[in-house]
Amino acid sequence: MSTSQAPLNPVVTGIRCRCPRCGKGKLFRGYLKLVDRCTACGLDMAFADSGDGPAVFVIFLVSPIVVVLALAVGAIFNPSPLVHLALWIPTTLVLCLALLPPFKGVMVGMQYRHDAHEGHTRGDDR
């Protein structure tokens, strides 16, 4: 990244699943598998290790949404427990699977923006 170019917003590049440096190259080569290098700017993605963070954030977002919807449907329509299962299991799976790549993209973008590395902070000489 040149010094005259402002850093890209990690949330925007993450949601778009694009390179955190240039915003053009694809971030993933599979569903959640990161590319080795950005095809547009050559950024080495070896720094990126989001771990379980994206899954935790997705669970924290999807769970209350599904619970509130299930309570609302239960209060309005009073369906049987099998109908609840038929509604909320697929809804939960679809939401979780749809949100995982963008959340992982945001985590990678934040790691790039803040120069985060495992086991040390910026300025640590070890």
Q: Please, what are the averages of pLDDT over each run of 10 residues along the chain (126 residues)?
A: 71 96 96 96 93 95 98 97 97 98 96 82 57
Q: What is the pTM of this model?
A: 0.86
**Within 13 Å of residue 15, how many CA atoms lie on the same side as its CB?**
4
Q: In this structure, which amino acid lies at residue 89?
A: I
- Give the pLDDT confidence score for residue 7 in this predicted structure: 86
- Give the pLDDT confidence score for residue 1 in this predicted structure: 46
Cβ atoms 101, 18 nearer than 8 A: no
Which residue ranges make up each domain of the chain?
Answer: 10-113
Cβ atoms 1, 21 nearer than 8 A: yes
Sign of CA dihedral 53, 113, 6, 40: negative
Give residue 37's region: left, alpha or beta (phi > 0; psi -120 to 50): beta
